[in-house]
Structure 1
């Protein structure tokens, strides 16, 4: 589904990524782990068009997206959440999710200004879909509350619903459980598995190893801008180079 071929990225004299090759398959959960500063978020920024690779190419469903604008990449089917929560706190949950649908809501300016039937029909369908997505993450009962009233974990789930509103084929999750307590992590793991079971493919960055090992089908390890290992959770957990570079003996055990 997603292929990074010999990707390198430099910022001035600093080389952040060096010859990265990754293949994210369809229909599973693929994890990218590594120490802070390894280049993980840079990978996400390249995939979503926020940065341009210094060399190499990125393909999504066999189409080159290396020079495609971020909003066009979203239209092609890649959605993303960020490590720092970015919900619209002054809007309701329902409004937050509807915002994610705007690229797919085809009505003209005149229809909007005159409140014509075509506009009302599209808006009604969008609200119904938003309620459905909120139900997927068990927030539909709070649809008309302001996002600012949610707990940290609930705001993260709202982000998932809004990302799904863009009709993605691939969902990128940047440290989804950062700052969460154990019960919130357990609940979010259930929501991510629910999303996977609905046919979505997921590419995830995360530091919580129990979370990663319990969710991912395959994991790649990035260290100093290079991929040092890739495999199943069991293979990664027992890889000596990964243990020395990142996991440590306690995590491996």
Structure 2
């Protein structure tokens, strides 16, 4: 579904990514891990058009994303959340999610100003779909509350609901359980599995190793801008290069022998 083909990214003389090759299969939950500063969020920013690659190509369904702005990439079926939550805090939960659906609405300015039947019908449909997405995220009972009143974990679930409102095929999650307690993490893990069961593919970055290992079908490991390992969780868990890069040298007495 999503391919990185020998992708590099430089900022001046700083090489953030070098010759990155990734394949995110359709229908999978694919994880990208690595130490702080490895370049993980840069991968997401390149995929979604916030940055342009210095070399190589990125494709979704075989179509190159080179030069495309974020809104056009969204139309191709990709949506994301951010490490730092970006919701409209002075809007209701329902309105936050309806915003995500607007790319699928086809009324013009005249329809809005004149309150035409087509405008009202599409807005009603968007609100019904938004309420269903809030139900998926266990937030429907707060649909009319202001987003600013939500807990941190609820705000993250709201951001996922809004991303799903764009009707993507591939959902990118940037550290989805950051700031959550153990119970919230387990609940979100189950919700992500359910999203996949509904036909979505998922590509996530996460620092919580237990979460990644318990959720992902495949994992790639990024270190100093290069992919150093790629495989199923068990292979990644015991890979000596991953242990050294992520947790310390194998001869370091303070480094665990395997990942959690």
Equivalent pairs counted in the alignment come to: 253
TM-score w.r.t. structure 1 length?
0.98
Superposition deviation, residue 194 in structure 1 = 1.2
8 Å Cα contact 1:46/1:66 also seen in 2: no
Mapped to 2, the partners of 1:77 and 1:50 lie a distance apart of 16
Superposition deviation, residue 93 in structure 1 = 0.5
| SS, match of residue 252 in structure 1 | coil
- The answer to whether 1:131 aligns with 2:138 is no
Superposition deviation, residue 252 in structure 1 = 2.1
Corresponding residue of 1:237: 237
- The answer to whether 1:91 aligns with 2:85 is no
Mapped to 1, the partners of 2:77 and 2:257 lie a distance apart of 39
8 Å Cα contact 2:80/2:163 also seen in 1: yes
Corresponding residue of 1:177: 177
In structure 2, relative to structure 1, the CA distance for the partners of 1:106 and 1:195 (3 Å cut) is: same
**Counterparts of 1:12-161 in structure 2 under 5 Å?**
12-161=12-161
String of CA shifts for 1:200-245, please: whole Å, max 9, x gaps. Answer: 0000000000000000000000000000000000000010110111
Match of 1:252 among 236, 250, 259: 259
Runs of 4+ in 1 over 3 A off after TM superposition: none
| SS, match of residue 173 in structure 1 | strand
String of CA shifts for 1:92-151, please: whole Å, max 9, x gaps. Answer: 000000000111110011110010111100000000000111111111111111111111
Mapped to 1, the partners of 2:242 and 2:193 lie a distance apart of 26
Gaps of 5+ in 1: none
Corresponding residue of 2:168: 168
Corresponding residue of 2:4: 4
Mapped to 1, the partners of 2:257 and 2:234 lie a distance apart of 15
Mapped to 1, the partners of 2:203 and 2:90 lie a distance apart of 29
Superposition deviation, residue 251 in structure 1 = 5.2
Mapped to 1, the partners of 2:118 and 2:161 lie a distance apart of 25
Mapped to 2, the partners of 1:58 and 1:28 lie a distance apart of 18
Superposition deviation, residue 36 in structure 1 = 0.5
Gaps of 5+ in 2: 248-254
TM-score w.r.t. structure 2 length?
0.96
Mapped to 2, the partners of 1:92 and 1:159 lie a distance apart of 12
String of CA shifts for 1:164-191, please: whole Å, max 9, x gaps. Answer: 0001010000001111111111111111
8 Å Cα contact 1:6/1:56 also seen in 2: yes
| SS, match of residue 134 in structure 1 | helix
Mapped to 2, the partners of 1:251 and 1:97 lie a distance apart of 41
Mapped to 2, the partners of 1:191 and 1:170 lie a distance apart of 16
| SS, match of residue 10 in structure 1 | strand
Mapped to 2, the partners of 1:19 and 1:25 lie a distance apart of 19
8 Å Cα contact 2:238/2:258 also seen in 1: no
Corresponding residue of 2:250: none
